Structure 1
Amino acid sequence: MSDEADVGHDESEEGAVDEEAGDGERAAETALADAVAEYDDALAAEVAALEREAAESAERVEELESSLRRTKADFQNYKKRAKKRQEQEKARATEDLVARLTDVRDNLVRALDQDADADIRPGVESTLETFDRVLGEENVEIISPEPGQSVDPERHEVMMRVDSEHPEGTVADVYKEGYEMADKVIEAAQVTVSDDEK
């Protein structure tokens, strides 16, 4: 006999046991009502009504528990679908960004394909403009403080202090630009800071 047949056989046996238990409970309830009826018919009717109410309540509890199990299963399935959809959207967003970045790379390859003595600066500047546009479309801002601007420790990394014509403690020069996205600093700008005001 197969495992499935065994499972079905066990379930039918369990059902039979449950049914027998239910029959036994009903018989006990009837016996109780009959026993009370020997002494007081009104009380027996009340007992029978309470027993019916208890049976209905038990049935309602079973229905609610079954409904709760289905709801929990539905919620788990919803969470799985939502996670999968989020992963798909993230993958599509990444694909879009990569597609735009490949254009920038193609431009750089074309610039390097020029003759060794060719002036490639205009091509590189054009490529940089394209790249900056892509960053802008992704809400990336370049952190490039002007000389004389106050130092912001959240957005500027001080590399060294130097003599400069700008007020003491302000940005003297930008050593390396930084990047910020959605109000979060991805990379702080590296700056030199004025040591003395001249």
Structure 2
Amino acid sequence: MSDEADAGHDEPEPDAPTADEEPDGADGPAESVEETPLADEAAAYDDDLAERVAALEREAADAADRVEELESSLRRTKADFQNYKKRAKKRQEQEKARATEDLVSRLTEVRDNLVRALDQEEDVDIRPGVESTLETFDRILGDENVAVISPDPGEDVDPERHEVMMRVDSDQPAGTVADVYKDGYEMADKVIEAAQVTVSDEE
């Protein structure tokens, strides 16, 4: 056969893939996945962080205001207390001064009575006047809650209220008060001055 005859019979080309067939290497249809971009996530995080920071700053500012308020209140309280102490001390001093003034004014009455007694004629018995003055003086002491310590003969000796001067022969029981040498005084159950006494000797 001739060359021309051979040219008219071309070799068939490979079959093209049909619509139902997929090219080699393809595993299947591509899936569509929707994901949030990283930039959006970062922005959202920044917004949340900014809100938290702002909230903390507001809390810190409120706390600072509260501290300032408490400190101011404490300063006022301290100042008020100092003023109260000053007023209380001044009032105490005034009351003490008034109490002393009142006592002195009553004691002058006793002095006036003694002066009048001494102004009497020499032959005049001044004992009644002195006794009256003593009653006035005792009344003043009683008003000041002062009591005279003057134990009776035969009374037991009280070391807290009696000062033993000496032991003497006496008709009183041994070891008891024989006589009062000098009266003592107590104020509000506190011994100001012990009474000086003599004590009956044991013999």
Question: Which TM-score bucket, shorter chain as reference?
Answer: 0.7 to 0.9
Q: Tell me if structure 2 keeps the 8 A contact 1:148–1:171.
A: yes
State the match for 2:92 in structure 1.
86
Q: What SS does structure 1 have at the residue aligned with 2:169? A: strand
User: Could you tell me the TM-score, scaled by structure 1's length?
Assistant: 0.79
Q: For residues 51-96 of structure 1, what are the alpha-carbon distances to aligned partners after superposition, in whole Å with 9 as ceiling and x for unaligned?
A: 1101110111011101111110111011101100111111111111
State the match for 2:76 in structure 1.
70
Q: Tell me if structure 2 keeps the 8 A contact 1:104–1:127.
A: yes
Name the Cα RMSD after superposition. Answer: 1.5
Q: What SS does structure 2 have at the residue aligned with 1:40? A: helix
Q: Which amino acid is 1:174 matched to?
A: V
Which of 123, 133, 146 is matched with 1:140 structurally? 146
| Structure whose CA Rg is larger | 2
Q: How does 1:79-118 map to 2 (within 5 A)?
A: 79-118=85-124
Q: For residues 141-183 of structure 1, what are the alpha-carbon distances to aligned partners after superposition, in whole Å with 9 as ceiling and x for unaligned?
A: 0000011111000000000011111111111110000000011
Counterpart CA distance in 2 for 1:130 and 1:105 is: 10
Extract structure 1 runs of 4+ deviating beyond 4 A: 36-39
Counterpart CA distance in 1 for 2:174 and 2:51 is: 98
Whose helix fraction is larger, Structure 1's or Structure 2's?
A: 1
Q: Tell me if structure 2 keeps the 8 A contact 1:37–1:43.
A: no
Q: Tell me if structure 2 keeps the 8 A contact 1:144–1:178.
A: yes
State the match for 2:59 in structure 1.
53
Please list every run of 5 or more consecutive structure 2 residues that lacks an aligned counterpart in the other structure.
Answer: 1-41
Q: Tell me if structure 2 keeps the 8 A contact 1:162–1:195.
A: yes
Counterpart CA distance in 2 for 1:152 and 1:99 is: 35
Identity %: 85
1:129 aligns with 2:129: no
Counterpart CA distance in 2 for 1:69 and 1:118 is: 73
1:188 aligns with 2:194: yes
Counterpart CA distance in 1 for 2:122 and 2:171 is: 40
